[in-house]
Structure 1
Amino acid sequence: MDRLLFFMWRVWRNPPSRTALLVMLGALALSIGLVLIERGLGWPDWLRADRVPRQRLPHL
C-alpha cells in the first residue's frame, strides 16, 4: 500500500506527459479488457499454460 501511495504522490507532484498518460491508460484499458473477456467468455484452451513434465538427465 505504501508503494501505491508513493507512486500516486509522485504522479501528483510531477504529472506525466500526455503521451505517457495515454500509454498508461491504454495499458490499463487492455488489462481490464482481458480480465473482462476471461471472466465473461472464459479463456480459450490454446492460450492455457499447461505444466510440462520435467525431463531428467541420465546419470553418467
Structure 2
Amino acid sequence: MNLNWLLRMARWARHPPSWGRVKLVVAVVVLCLLLVAVERIWGWPDWLTTNGRGRPVRF
C-alpha cells in the first residue's frame, strides 16, 4: 500500500466526510449497480452497438 493512501486514510479518520457527501457517494454506487443489473437482465441494446471499427484515422 502506498504511503499517500495511508495518509489519506488517517486524514479521513480525523476529519470524516459530511453526511451529504456520504449520501452522494452511496447514491452514485447504487446508480452504478442499478445500471449493471439492468444490463445483465436485458442485455446491451443493439442501437447502442457500433457498426465496426472502420479505418484508423491518420493525421
| Matches for 1:42-57 after TM superposition, within 5 Å | 42-54=43-55
Specify every segment of 5 or more residues in structure 2 that has no aligned partner in the other structure, as ranges. Answer: none
Counterpart check, 1:15 vs 2:19: no
CA distance in 1 between counterparts of 2:39 and 2:18 reads 32
TM-score w.r.t. structure 1 length? 0.60
Identity %: 30
Give the number of equivalent residue pairs. Answer: 54
CA distance in 2 between counterparts of 1:49 and 1:23 reads 33
Shift of 1:11: 7.6
* CA-to-aligned-CA distance 1:17-50 (integer Å, 9 cap, x gap): 1111111011100100011011111111122345
CA distance in 2 between counterparts of 1:22 and 1:36 reads 21
- 2:48 is aligned with what amino acid? L
CA distance in 2 between counterparts of 1:30 and 1:36 reads 10
Q: CA RMSD in A?
A: 3.0
Specify every segment of 5 or more residues in structure 1 that has no aligned partner in the other structure, as ranges. Answer: none
